[in-house]
Amino acid sequence: MNIIQLNNLVKKYPVGNGEFTALNDINLNFKEGEFTGLVGPSGSGKTTLLNIIGSLDSPSYGSAIVMNKSIAELSHKEAAMLRNQHIGFIFQTYNLLPVYTVFENVEFPLLLQNKNATQRKNAVMEALEWVGLTDKIKSKPSMLSGGECQRVAIARAMVKKPQIVLADEPTANLDSKNSHHILQTMQKLNKELGVTFLFSTHDEKVMQYLNRLISLEDGKVISDTIKNA
Amino acid sequence: MIAIKLAYKNLVGAGLRTWLNVSVLSFAFVLMIFYNGMIEGWNRQARNDTQDWEIGQGQYWEPSFDRYDPYTYQDAHQVISEPIIQQIKKGLLTPILLVQANMYPQGRMQSVLLKGVDPKQNILKLPTSDLRFSSNETCAIIGKRLADENKLSVGDKVLVRWRDKNGMFDAIEIKIASIFKTDVPSVENGNMYLNIEVLQKMTGMTNEASILVAGKDSKLYDITNWDFKTPDFLLTDFDAMIQSKKAGGIIMSGLLLIIALLAIFDTQVLSIFRRQKEIGTYIAMGMTRSQVVGIFTVEGGAHSILAALVGAIYGIPLFIWLNKVGIPMAANSQDAGITIADTIYPYYSLDLIISSLLLVIISATIVSYMPARKIAKLKPTEALKGKIQ
């Protein structure tokens, strides 16, 4: 079953008096439980594509259907609801809330879902167990290493058990050892929980973990390879 | 709840910047309450003093009497009827006869208003009992200001000239029986108090009075041929002066509040620029833009809550202490002609505290909301990159 469908997707941005085409006629489908990477050089449209799938942006033309909802037709509130319920984000720079502890950072998406305190505590501890950070619950992000911060970000994205996790260059700021650790964690979560992972990356280390590799260049798909059928 | 929790964490996390804003705002808050409390304390004391010394629970005026027109004084007197005499005997009313005169201290001439009062009265705080035991001499009591201005002491005699009922001049030497001090300048300035019976005899106005002052237990009712004036009417000038003082206080507090609010506004604008990534993250996690605007508004508004708490820490002991010891007024402040006690005891009403608190909270929330509205226009994709839009 396709969880994401992109049909003739075009995204243009106004630049000066003209327009810049960030995505050009993208046609892609993603099934539930995929572990897919969007690869390509900077400016190829990877992040733009993730933003549209994540309902942070909308297509100029064509359609993007995520969880049976057309992104272009969603209101701000409906888009927020889609992200709140079904989509987790992992960012290159972690984007943790600096004033919150690890526990509170991971708990945040559950507060938005109005879960009660017991539900939140159980879910947060479970998510921190997945990423091996149960001993750091009281630490602030400033007290953690880059790898630990990214693991907190993964726990935050996973704590609400979303259907889709969108990871924008998740290993770009990490060393080799931490990158492998992060990817192994995400791979494990993908297998155990069946969550669909969609990465943007140009990191070779990431590519070896991916099941499907989509190459983008100048906003166009130039290849779509399924590695392990 | 998230907004409050996050606001608290961000405010504490911002450290010195938060405490600077909170300090200025709390100072504005405390000063606002202090100033208004002082004015209110002054107002209450002055009203009480004026009632105790001059106007009682109201006055009945002879219909032609106009306190602003001295030309009316000559004819503003009438015979006290029998029912009124009964009220006077019961101590519910006290009559005053007003006669314009001149006195000649050290050869100088000065206008003076002779006020005939009942030596047995207890309605006004005037020490009229000092007029009770006069021998053959005509005695008067005067206020300290009039005494000082004219270098008069107890036992001194001063020549006084007046017109009688028929407009004929007459003159006599009056002995100063006592000198009193009061916070109400209008009681002292240019007034000389004589036994009403003596003044009636001097002017030929037997059993006549110009005004009747009502006492505390007086049941106010219409008296034929006398116009009743309420204390509020009699205090109109004073109320106008207090209102102008309050307006001055509002301007001063307003300026201080504006400075504090500008600091909050500035902090909010900076916050929104500096925390674009955080805003983008909130939106990515599923917050609506209005929820994010709410977080930033609550955060800015929370400055005022902290300011109230900080203000309470140093303000409450300060106010309690001031309320106990009072605020001494300058020795010559009464010379300006306004009723003011030597020491003012501020009065902090619950209304004053609540209204000041609401004013600070609401205005801080509004100035926090104004820059936060910009968030609603931010593109989340640009915000996530931390790009200034």
Q: What is the mean pLDDT of residues A205-224?
A: 92
Tens-digit pLDDT profile for residues B41-93: 888 888 888 899 999 999 999 999 998 888 888 889 999 999 899 889 988 99
Q: Does B15 touch chain A (CB under 8 A)?
A: no
Tell whether the model's pLDDT for residue B389 goes beyond 80.
no
Which among A48, A84, A98 is the nearest to B13, CB-wise? A98
Q: Does A67 touch chain B (CB under 8 A)?
A: no
Distance set, CA B82 to CA B88, B207, B222, B223, B263 (Å): 10, 10, 15, 12, 70
- Nearest residue on chain A to B2, alpha-carbon basis: A111
CB B59 within 8 A of CB B229: yes
Which among B12, B287, B289 is the nearest to A112, CB-wise? B287
A9-13, A64-68, A139-143, B347-351: lowest mean pLDDT where? Answer: B347-351
Q: Do B285 and A89 touch (CB under 8 A)?
A: yes
Place of tokens 């300290």: B144
Q: Does A51 touch chain B (CB under 8 A)?
A: yes
Q: Does B17 touch chain A (CB under 8 A)?
A: no
Q: How far is B293 from chain A (nearest CA, A)?
A: 14
What local confidence, expressed as pLDDT, does residue B341 receive? 75
Q: Is the ipTM of this complex over 0.95?
A: no
What local confidence, expressed as pLDDT, does residue B386 receive? 75
Q: Do B278 and A91 touch (CB under 8 A)?
A: no
Q: Do B286 and A81 touch (CB under 8 A)?
A: yes
Q: In the structure encoding, which two tokens stand for residue B239, read together?
A: 């109320």
Q: What is the mean pLDDT of residues B9-37?
A: 84
Q: How far apart are CA B143 and CA B145, in angstroms?
A: 6
CATH topology of domain A33-47+76-226: Rossmann fold (3.40.50)
List of chain A residues whose C-beta atoms are within 8 Å of the C-beta of residue B288: 76-77, 80
Q: Do A112 and B286 touch (CB under 8 A)?
A: yes
Q: Do B278 and A93 touch (CB under 8 A)?
A: no
Tell whether the model's pLDDT for residue B334 goes beyond 60.
no
Q: Do B285 and A91 touch (CB under 8 A)?
A: no
Distance set, CA A200 to CA A36, A58, A185, A197 (Å): 9, 18, 17, 10
Q: Identify which has the larger pLDDT, B165 or A83.
A: A83
Q: Do A95 and B280 touch (CB under 8 A)?
A: yes
Tell whether the model's pLDDT for residue B332 goes beyond 70.
no
HSE at residue A104, side-chain half, CA atoms within 13 A, is 14
Burial zone of A55 (CB within 10 Å; 0-12 exposed, 13-18 middle, 19+ buried):
buried
Chain A / chain B CB contacts < 8 angstroms: 66
List of chain B residues whose C-beta atoms are within 8 Å of the C-beta of residue A91: 281, 284, 384
Q: Which residues, at least 6 apart from B34, have a Cβ–Cβ distance to it below 8 Å?
A: B315, B318, B319, B322, B346
Which among B284, B289, B291 is the nearest to A83, CB-wise? B284
List of chain B residues whose C-beta atoms are within 8 Å of the C-beta of residue A117: none
Q: Hey, which residues does B208 pair with through a beta bridge?
A: B79
Enumerate the domain spans of chain A: 33-47+76-226
Q: Does A80 touch chain B (CB under 8 A)?
A: yes
Distance set, CA A116 to CA A122, A126, A128, B335 (Å): 10, 16, 18, 69
Q: Do A56 and B283 touch (CB under 8 A)?
A: yes
Looking at residue B339, its amino acid is T
With CA atoms as reference, report the closest residue to B42 among B253, B254, B326: B326
Q: Does A139 touch chain B (CB under 8 A)?
A: no
User: What is the pLDDT confidence band of residue B333, given thresholds at 50, 70 and 90?
Assistant: low
Tens-digit pLDDT profile for residues B309-324: 999 999 999 999 998 8
First vs last C-alpha separation in chain B: 29
Looking at residue A116, its amino acid is N
Tell whether the model's pLDDT for residue A229 goes beyond 60.
no
Output the average pLDDT for chain A: 92
Q: Does B155 touch chain A (CB under 8 A)?
A: no
Which among A84, A95, A97 is the nearest to B286, CB-wise? A84
User: What is the pLDDT confidence band of residue A81, given thresholds at 50, 70 and 90?
Assistant: very high
Q: How far apart are CA A152 and CA A185, in angstroms?
A: 12
User: What is the pLDDT confidence band of residue A60, given thresholds at 50, 70 and 90?
Assistant: very high
Which among A57, A81, A95 is the nearest to B381, CB-wise? A57
Output the average pLDDT for chain B: 87
Give one word for B326, left, alpha or beta, with left for phi > 0 and alpha for psi -120 to 50. Answer: left
Q: How far apart are CA B49 and CA B124, in angstroms?
A: 10
Q: Do A99 and B10 touch (CB under 8 A)?
A: yes
Q: Do A91 and B281 touch (CB under 8 A)?
A: yes
Q: Do B12 and A109 touch (CB under 8 A)?
A: no
